[in-house]
Amino acid sequence: MKDLSKEIKAYALKNALEFGKADPSRILPKLFQHGLEKSEIKEIIPKITATIKEINSLSTAEKEKQYTEYKKLVIIKEEKPHELPELPNVKGAVITRLPPEPSKYLHLGHALSFILNSIYAKRYNGKCLLRFEDANPEKVSQEYVDAILDDIDNYLEIKYESIKYVSEDMPLFYKYAEKIINSDNAYMCFCDREKMQKLRFEGKSCECHKNPIKKNKEEWEKFLEGKYMKGEAILRLKGDMKSKNYVMRDPVIFRAVAEKHFIHGNKYKIWPMYDFYNPIEDSIMGITHILRSNEFETRVELQDYIKDLLKLNKQTIIQYGRFTVIDTTTKGREIRDLIKSGEYIGWDDPRLVTLKALRRRGITKEALYELTNQMGLSKKQVNLDFDMIAAINRKIIDPIANRYSFVKDPVALKIKNRPNLKTIKVPIHPDKKETRTINVDTETIFISKEDFKKFKGKEIRLLHLYNIKLGNKDDSADFVSLENKDIPKINWVSKGVQCTILMPDCSLTTGLAEEAIERLKKGKLLQFERLGFARFDNKKKGVYETWFAHK
Ligand SMILES: [Zn+2]
């Protein structure tokens, strides 16, 4: 077997520097590029394990130093860009739609769907239309319309051709309902909810099903005028009570709603259900392709049936596997309850994957586009880990986020015999020439309580500054030397500013950040050295508030 010990070391160092600890499963596959044969796997694994053990015990500084030597052995394969497949049935321009219901804030799932629909419209020189599905006065409001527009315009930056509200078409929906009643394909039902559900379950029709068209027409008129309250009457489509697809068992298509609508007030007393207005809108807006997750699967049959009854055009529907994000909820009702109870701070609570939360934490638009590309149109159900979003985002922001020092729970050190240094210059980013100037002509230097406890009595290096020996009991320290040698390096702050980091679990980390963050603009992304990426959110009462993105 070829001697690969140097290559193993190179990848182990690279891996350890990237992830904190080297992982054998990430190193083995790389070795095939260097001539490793499958039959040699057994033999090489103990070597990898031994090397990893050795590397993981090194300090970061030592790993970095050794890696500069071994770096040249690492082969970095060009990653193949992910590409979305071509669409079927393209005849001329592709017209897609973004159909949010303004009853909650958008989350990651909406973003992926909207991005897909906008990418395809662009690819085929078509149009992407924005349609607010505001047909449930009990839930929809202007607040959500505004929030959704803000996310689409200012975060996702999706260009859409026009905006419409489904409620603009109420007279048309009534006209279509009458058409269906006149052709004896719908009936007014007066059964209570429980009875209706029981009969649907058993696959049996209620007595209302037999009523003649004339009676249905009369009752519909009364219904329109608001003579029936919610729960007293509904309009049902004649579907198929024996269908295995429950959605087809005489579904409700109109119901009475007493609540005021945020645009139309009390003008309309009865409102169409989703399965009725949605296919109508897709047809009359001239939509050609619908890209959505397969949670709508069961509705296709019903929506196609409605289109047939009304002689409306059909669209090409492409359904991809729905995904769930682990350890969080995207259900509007659950989120509303968590906010109401005070457990969550709002729709942008960092534990959520609403677009408001992701944006405030510093997840870039580019990361969401790349995630969409990677997920593609796969039919598989995906359980998405936040780490996957973080890994994509890290690649995007690592080259641009400037570095700063942050010290949690600061401990003040009075350094004896400190050298006569006024200021030092430190790179704002390892890949950039630009520097930041730090005033070190101060009585005290702050380090974190955690570092103080860990290294008390020991010699450490204040990163970019000098080496000191920490005292054992009090918070004093002695200057040792300027020499950059291989000892633990820790962050410090001289003249600091009060700073908070809102963590992903919504806990607040407080401490001091270096003065240089005063020059940051609101919304800028940064990296707190040895801690992770964050977004500068706001300055309140002299305190710099940041939101943690990820490590
Ligand atoms: Zn009935």
Residue 325 lies in a domain: yes
CA of 209 to the centre of ligand 1 (A): 7
pLDDT at 56 over 90: no
Residue 538 lies in a domain: no
Range of lowest pLDDT (37-51, 70-84, 240-254, 401-415) = 70-84
Which CATH number does the domain housing residue 391 bear?
3.40.50.620
CA of 89 to the centre of ligand 1 (A): 42
In this structure, which residues have their CB less than 5 angstroms from ion ligand 1?
189, 191, 206, 208
Residue 509 lies in a domain: no
CA of 195 to the centre of ligand 1 (A): 8
pLDDT higher for 527 or 27?
527
CA of 239 to the centre of ligand 1 (A): 14
The set of residues, in sequence order, having a beta carbon less than 8 Å from that of 337 and lying 6+ positions away, is none
Residue 498 lies in a domain: no
CA of 208 to the centre of ligand 1 (A): 4
CA of 223 to the centre of ligand 1 (A): 15
pLDDT for position 185: 98
CA of 225 to the centre of ligand 1 (A): 20
CA of 173 to the centre of ligand 1 (A): 22
- One domain for residues 44 and 160: no
CA of 238 to the centre of ligand 1 (A): 12
- One domain for residues 27 and 131: no
- One domain for residues 68 and 137: no
Residue 381 lies in a domain: yes
pLDDT for position 51: 93
- One domain for residues 33 and 62: yes
3-state secondary structure of 508: strand
Tokens of residue 223, six digits: 């219904």
pLDDT at 79 over 70: no
Beta strands 410-416 and 444-448 are antiparallel
User: Among 73, 103, 118, which residue terminates a domain?
Assistant: 73
Q: What residue numbers bound the domain in which 284 lies?
A: 89-397
Tally of domains within the chain: 2
What is residue 493's DSSP assignment? B
- φ/ψ region of 48 (left if φ > 0, alpha if ψ in -120 to 50, else beta) reads alpha
- φ/ψ region of 191 (left if φ > 0, alpha if ψ in -120 to 50, else beta) reads beta
Tokens of residue 199, six digits: 């009969």
CA of 302 to the centre of ligand 1 (A): 20
- One domain for residues 206 and 234: yes
Q: HEC profile for 185-221?
A: CEEEECCCHHHHHHHHHHCCCCHHHHCCHHHHHHHHH
Distance CA 469, CA 473 (A): 12
- One domain for residues 215 and 299: yes
Q: Which pLDDT band, with edges at 50, 70 and 90, does 26 fall under?
A: confident
The answer to whether 148 and 134 have CB atoms below 8 angstroms apart is no
pLDDT at 139 over 70: yes
Distance CA 394, CA 387 (A): 10
Residue 84 lies in a domain: no
User: Burial level of 125, CB count in 10 A (0-12/13-18/19+)?
Assistant: exposed
Q: HEC profile for 247-277?
A: HHCCCEEEEECCCCECCCECCCCEEECHHHH
CA of 295 to the centre of ligand 1 (A): 29
CA of 139 to the centre of ligand 1 (A): 26
- One domain for residues 117 and 224: yes
Q: pLDDT > 90: what percent of the chain?
A: 81
CA of 190 to the centre of ligand 1 (A): 5
> What's the pTM?
0.83
pLDDT for position 116: 96
